[in-house]
Amino acid sequence: MFFYAPLDADQGFTQKIFYIHVPLAIVSLGGFIFGGLLAIGYLRTGDRAWDMRSYVAIHMALIFGVGALITGSIWAKASWGHWWVWNEPTLVSFLIVLLLFATYQPLRFSIEDPERQSRYASVFAVVAGAFVPLNYLAVNLATAYVHPRVLTLTGAKLPPSMGLTFAVALVGIALLYVTLWKYEMAAKNARSQVRRLRRTLLGDDGVRPVGRSAAPS
Amino acid sequence: MVVLRKDLRLELRTWETLPAMVLFALVTFVIFHFGLNRTTISGQLAAGVLTVTVLFAAMLGINRLFVAEREQGGFDAFLLAPVDRTTMLVAKSAGLFLFLCVLEVVAVPAFALFLLGPPLGPALPGLLVVLVLANLGLSVIGTLVSAIAVHTRARDLIGPLLGLPLLVPALIATARAAGPLLAASHRASGPPGKWLLILALYDVVFGLLAYAVFDFLLED
């Protein structure tokens, strides 16, 4: 990333953050939609494992989204001179999506019955997942473009070496997301299995009661 | 239909929600007058003020929408009745739609009286179309959000928290469509088609989506 791709003629070294910021944002949005699709799985089957998958997917996408926002701000400060630019549709729509999904955790937290928590959270995840592309459409039409359109339908407007680096970075971040998702799923499953084992071995007293939490247990 | 009639009768007997929404809208206009420190406004600013006021007044109605059902066991009664569950969605959003229309019948003339610089008359037909489309979106999303929020502990908190970001695209489209109608000079003859199209698309997509997922919110 640092040595292979050529320096940007206009922005020089600061342009390198592009290879982290853009994949983070794309993967985060993809993660939100992925969470919505997994939530459909829960609503169809009623199996709480699907809810767990959806929860972890959205949780991870939120973290990636915050990362994208921070790297984006740094880049914006370096290249446009402002931390935040309102007349930029990509920024604004991303912020709206992030704000919407930020309510996912409070929503889960304020429902006590676990069954109902899973169901309502899934309904929310489906609606919010469908909201992502629609929101993009609306906000994009609302304002003019400031972000350079490097990835258009007619193909990437990047020199080949930059395009290759970007593709590698995108795949890398996506794989990081998938890995973290699997890791978190494994951790959650292991924890619930340990609880089950303790309960069978030590009886109900041997297990600390689960406090109310946003995570499905 | 019965649910809708029940809701309307309840409102006509108690006058609980609707006057609160109207009063809230009027107070908001006064606050905008002082907050903006302007005696008259026009164009995009006027459209924004009107849209935001309607949105916040709608939030009041959305918060109250399912409270009576929850407090008095209306959900159970509804689930026992041999009807499709989505009728609840249709009835509730139709009720909210009517509430919003009544609200606007009062609030829009008051807005013209208090704040709007250019005369309201020529803009009225276009504004009517925009507001009807906006009401559709508000009522569908409002019903959905209200149904999610009513079973949570902090329902007055969760409702607006979920609803506002979901309604942002509709808000943008409404404000942009109404802006040229309220302009002081170079007034457009009709609302811009692009924004009406987005508003309609938004209504259709979320209408279908709410129709698809609403079943799950009543299973108990």
- A98-144 residue pLDDT tens: 888 888 888 888 887 778 888 888 888 888 888 888 777 766 666 55
Residue A132 to residue A117: CA distance in whole angstroms: 22
Res. A41 pLDDT band, cuts 50 70 90? confident
Could you say which of A103, A112, A135 has the minimum Cβ distance to residue B162? A103
Contacts of A135 in chain B (CB under 8 A): 168-169
Angstrom CA distances, B45 to A63, B48, B49, B53, B176, stand at: 36, 5, 6, 12, 10
pLDDT at B17: 78
**Cα A149 vs. chain centroid, distance in angstroms?**
22
> Backbone phi, then psi, for A146, in 5-degree steps?
-120, -40
Short-list B71, B69, B64, B51, CA closest to B18: B64
Contacts of A141 in chain B (CB under 8 A): 194, 198
pTM of the full structure: 0.76
Residue A122 to residue A42: CA distance in whole angstroms: 7
Dihedral of the alpha carbons of A199, A205, A207, A212, in degrees to the nearest 10 = 120
| HSE-CB of B185 using CA atoms within 13 angstroms | 0
Mutation target vs A (from B89, B197, B209, B217; most A CBs, 10 A cutoff): B209
Please judge whether A122 and B217 are an interchain contact, meaning their C-beta atoms are less than 8 angstroms apart: no
CA distance B15 to chain A (A): 30
Residue A122 to residue B140: CA distance in whole angstroms: 18
Scan for tokens 């701000």, then name that residue: A73
Q: Please answer whether residues B26 and B107 qualify as being in contact, where contact means their C-beta atoms are separated by less than 8 angstroms.
A: yes
pLDDT at A24 over 80: yes
**Cα B130 vs. chain centroid, distance in angstroms?**
12
Res. B190 pLDDT band, cuts 50 70 90? low
Which parts of A47-152 are beta strand (E)? 151-152
**Using beta carbons and an 8 Å cutoff, which residues of A are at the interface with B?**
43, 96-97, 99-100, 103, 106-107, 110-112, 116, 119-120, 122-124, 126-128, 130-131, 134-135, 137-139, 141-142
State what percent of residues in chain B have pLDDT above 90.
Answer: 0
Residue A45 to residue A37: CA distance in whole angstroms: 13
Lowest mean pLDDT among A89-98, A172-181, B90-99, B130-139: A89-98
**Over B89-101, what HEC string results?**
HHHHHHHHHHHHH
Lowest mean pLDDT among A68-77, A121-130, A131-140, B179-188: B179-188
Contacts of B216 in chain A (CB under 8 A): 43, 119, 122-123
pLDDT at A37 over 80: yes
pLDDT at A159: 67
Average pLDDT over residues A142-156: 49
B/e letters for B113-123, b = 16+ CB within 10 Å, e = fewer, are: eebbbbeeeeb
State what percent of residues in chain A have pLDDT above 70.
Answer: 74
Q: pLDDT (tens digit, 9 = 90+) per residue, B121-136? A: 777 778 888 888 889 9
Question: Is B1 an 8 Å CB contact of chain A?
Answer: no
Query: What is the ipTM for the molecules in this complex?
Result: 0.71
Q: How many other C-beta atoms can be found within 10 angstroms of the C-beta atom of residue A211? A: 6
> Backbone phi, then psi, for B116, in 5-degree steps?
-70, 130
pLDDT at B73 over 80: no
Angle in degrees, 0-180, between the axes of helices B43-64 and B155-178, rounded to the nearest 10: 150
Q: How many CB pairs (< 8 A) connect A and B?
A: 82
